[in-house]
Amino acid sequence: MSTVNRETPRPAAGRAGIKKELPDHFKDYRHVWVFIELERGQVHSVSFELLGEGRKLADKLEVQLAGVVLGPPGEAIGNAIAEAFVYGADLVYIVEAPLLADYRNEPFTKAMTDLVATHKPEILLLGATTLGRDLAGSVATTLQTGLTADCTELDVDTDGSLAATRPTFGGSLLCTIYTLNYRPQMATVRPRVMPMPQRADKPVGRVIQHKLSITEDEIVTKVLGFLPDSQSATANLAYADVVVAGGLGLGAAENLQLVKNLARALGAEYGCSRPMVQKGWVSADRQIGQTGKTIRPKLYIAAGISGAIQHRVGVEGADLIVAINADPNAPIFDFAHLGIVTDAIRFLPALTEAFTRRLSPHNRDKLAS
């Protein structure tokens, strides 16, 4: 068993050696905006995570934090506005129109780009969800501005520029990207990369309405219906409180059952490293890491996973990381809070049995709370 300090010191944001006068018209662009994503009428949690991050940026820049809600008239939009204030927005821009009932790229891009052109935010943040990625790309292209995708850190440079940090070179390096020539500065962040902010006691704020200037005739995409995705509907890895994952050290596809058994005993979700997906042993929506899901559980148990940097970036937000690995020199022991050096194939059934014996369903709920 070993305890390690997981805080890796990182240099502060700063453009060493790059000096550039920002154009005068950049002064017209002010305030930090966060796109509040509605997913079948519910606000996606990544929007709240981004409001928390946006608040920090806005405070540093001494500007306002705004939420942007796009959707059809109805209860959902009202709830989204209220939630945006609860999580720190000073004001909310809304475009309310029946054409925005289901996500389609054209009307959403039109709504967002018109809003940006009118009110000129300096920073625009979106969640790196399927919808957010699609919208961010087309908004950035239409506005001809820079977009940094899948950021892991956001900060403000001494001249007020957004310093957007993300992994590069297959995750082995972090790079900080600046949009020096264009505005707004856009960035996407994956769910669970940023922590949830505190809810405000007395949320108040202004709502600014904007009209949608596109008609159904101008929209090529038509929504014919929705087919539920049975696999991803069951995998709620990103927001699970307890996650058990298996890696190549399990040796064979059937040994994943040992991970699933432990997950069931703990009322947890199960996940895996990338090679497990590449081998076809586990579906892609269970992959954890840089090119999979980012998780922030209270407890993460990794069995037979080496702890490569691309896996590490997806799990380091966990409160408690327990690693089970046969090799005492495995990199995962550099960032795990608890390390168990043993054969996972033999250890997992014993651990499952011990938990099953000790955890009644009532105690299991307590573990997750």
Closer CB to ligand FAD, residue 148 or residue 310?
A: 310
Cβ of residue 312: shortest distance to ligand FAD, in angstroms? 9
* Residue type at position 201: D
Contacts 24+ apart (CB under 8 A), 10-16: 10/153, 10/174, 12/155, 13/153, 13/155, 13/156, 13/157, 13/163, 13/165, 13/176, 14/157, 14/158, 14/163, 15/157, 15/161, 15/163, 15/178
| Cβ-contact 158, 13 below 8 angstroms | no
Contact set with ligand FAD (CB under 6 A): 170-171, 247-249, 273-275, 287-292, 304-306, 308, 310-311, 314, 324-327, 330, 343-345
Tokens read off for 168:
């590069």
Closer CB to ligand FAD, residue 34 or residue 256?
A: 256
Cβ of residue 317: shortest distance to ligand FAD, in angstroms? 14
* Residues linked to residue 177 through DSSP beta bridges, in sequence order: 164
Radius of gyration of the chain (CA): 22
Residue 253: how many other CB atoms lie within 10 Å: 12
Q: Rounded CA gap, 265 and 189, in Å?
A: 32
Cβ of residue 164: shortest distance to ligand FAD, in angstroms? 19
Cβ of residue 259: shortest distance to ligand FAD, in angstroms? 12
Cβ of residue 127: shortest distance to ligand FAD, in angstroms? 18
Closer CB to ligand FAD, residue 187 or residue 340?
A: 340
Nearest by Cα to 315 from 257, 261, 283, 274: 274
Cβ of residue 290: shortest distance to ligand FAD, in angstroms? 4
Closer CB to ligand FAD, residue 164 or residue 305?
A: 305
Closer CB to ligand FAD, residue 67 or residue 304?
A: 304
Closer CB to ligand FAD, residue 257 or residue 291?
A: 291
Q: Rounded CA gap, 329 and 333, in Å?
A: 7
